[in-house]
């Protein structure tokens, strides 16, 4: 009986799709991942930014932008990131500007719950990876 080298169509399509996607995002071993924080309030700074920066070296990323409509929050987040990574991220008011930046690979969305869906949709359309938490049932 001859040995068949055919693979099921679904497996082929899945492998080809993943390969194409992976090739688009190939990084060198020394390339750092660029992160943008959208929403620099209490949850954005005290939980997500501080928690992320604890593992910055192990996960090979830099916070390159912080975004909030309130200047005080932006400045606080930028200063905190500067003390942990040496350089201050850019301070941005409009989240769409963060999504348009070529050196931002992923965003952390820490805005009020009602803004999550449109911002996540825009992030995906911009080709960014995104982290967003589901709303708390207690709010």
Per-residue confidence (pLDDT) for residue 28, from 0 to 100: 60
Which residues of the chain are modeled with pLDDT < 50?
Answer: 12, 14-23
CB-CB contact of 65 with 101 (8 Å): yes
CB-CB contact of 98 with 104 (8 Å): yes
Per-residue confidence (pLDDT) for residue 30, from 0 to 100: 61
Per-residue confidence (pLDDT) for residue 80, from 0 to 100: 96
Sorted by where each starts, the structural domains of the chain and their CATH numbers stand as: 28-132 (3.40.50.720)
Per-residue confidence (pLDDT) for residue 135, from 0 to 100: 79
Per-residue confidence (pLDDT) for residue 92, from 0 to 100: 98
Rounded-to-integer distance, Cα 36 and Cα 84, Å: 15
């Amino acid at each position: 009986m001859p040995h068949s080298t055919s693979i099921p169509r679904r497996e082929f399509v899945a492998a080809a799709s993943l390969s194409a996607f992976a090739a688009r995002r190939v990084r060198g071993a020394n390339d750092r991942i660029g992160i943008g924080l959208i929403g620099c309030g209490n949850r954005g700074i005290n939980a997500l930014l501080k928690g992320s920066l604890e593992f910055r070296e192990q996960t090979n990323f830099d916070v390159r932008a912080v975004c909030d409509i309130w200047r005080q929050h932006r400045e606080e987040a930028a200063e905190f990131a500067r003390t942990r990574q040496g350089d201050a991220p850019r301070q941005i008011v409009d989240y769409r500007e963060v999504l348009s930046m070529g050196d931002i690979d992923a965003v952390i969305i820490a805005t009020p719950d009602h803004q999550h869906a449109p911002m996540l949709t825009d992030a995906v359309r911009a080709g960014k990876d995104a982290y967003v938490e589901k709303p708390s049932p207690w709010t």
